[in-house]
Amino acid sequence: MTDVKYPSGCRPLTEDLGTDELIRRLKTLAHALQAMGQDEKHVPDYIQLALMLVDEYFLQHSSRDVQLLVACCIADILRVFAPEAPYKDQDQIKAIFMFFIKQLNGLKDPKDASFKRYFYLLENLAFVKSFNMCFEIEDCQKIFCQLFAMMFRIINDDHSTKVKNFMIDIMSPLITEADNLTTPLLDLILINIVEPQKSANIHAYHLAEQLIQKTSYALEPIIKIFFNQVLILGKIDKNIAVTAKMYDLIYELYQISPNLMCSVLPQLECKLKSTTEIERMKAVSLLARMFSEKDSQLSKKTYLIIANAFGSFLRHCCSDTR
């Protein structure tokens, strides 16, 4: 570690230091990096420092305070080095972002003495869009699943609007800028808007609602394919929890983003034409529920499709009664 260069006023971080002294030195380093801009001429000199901070000694340190300070330092390193991060190895990048997720879990208690530092970490990662760096690695969707699950789990009534907005700012680019969004990640988002999860954690519902509204353009083709797989092709993955709530999901998505669902609703036509009475009744009940909503625009947007489908439904009913 003797070849590691530190910002002015910072003392070396060595493994022989006691925890209290290590924390003091990390605080000094954190402040120096926080004040550093991208135009700092010495930034390239800190590559070895950047690499040292992601050593297992720091990422797995027994002290919670050490880990949090290290996370803040790494986040600032990503900021000052952007857009070219000093980390290139895929396993190393994965370890860094799993470490960030672990630290962000500390946001769950705004009354925690260290909350301001957790908030700084969240704000920094949101501002730089640091998690977008994960697109470069093969396991990115697994990392995103861990991140989204953590966000939906910890969000609560004590969180400010700023905290919620920064969470959205981190998550939304991972949807809008993704080449591919996996079904497990989609499930993690959508399961929060249907019962019983909707009532069990209303804050997670509102977070998912805001995320869906902000990313609706990117979500539309993905959700259309998802519904096509389940409603039309009957491909139901038991590991995807929301597939058991398809009709409730359509209703809730329509409530959140009507335009998002306009391309999906025509897929209900096949259910209205189903030879199975239960399937037909589920589809009719859903459409009746949606038509009856105050200021519903459903009939105007899907009139021909729904009219044809209802005609088919009525013919089935007549045929059943005969």
Task: List, for residues 116-160, the tens digit of each pLDDT value.
Answer: 999 999 999 999 999 999 999 999 999 999 999 999 999 999 999
Contact 75, 130 (CB under 8 A): yes
Of residues 49 and 271, more confidently modeled: 49
Task: List, for residues 228-280, the tens digit of each pLDDT value.
Answer: 999 888 888 989 999 999 999 999 999 999 888 877 877 887 787 778 888 88
Domain range summary for the chain, segments of one domain joined by +: 264-295+303-322
Of 34-38, 164-168, 232-236, 281-285, the range with the highest mean pLDDT is 164-168
Q: What CA–CA distance (Å, rounded) separates 75 from 222? A: 31
Q: Is the dihedral of CA 81, 85, 87, 88 positive or negative?
A: negative
Report the amino acid identity of residue 145: C
Least confident stretch, 51-55, 56-60, 254-258: 254-258
- Residue 303 scores a pLDDT above 60: no
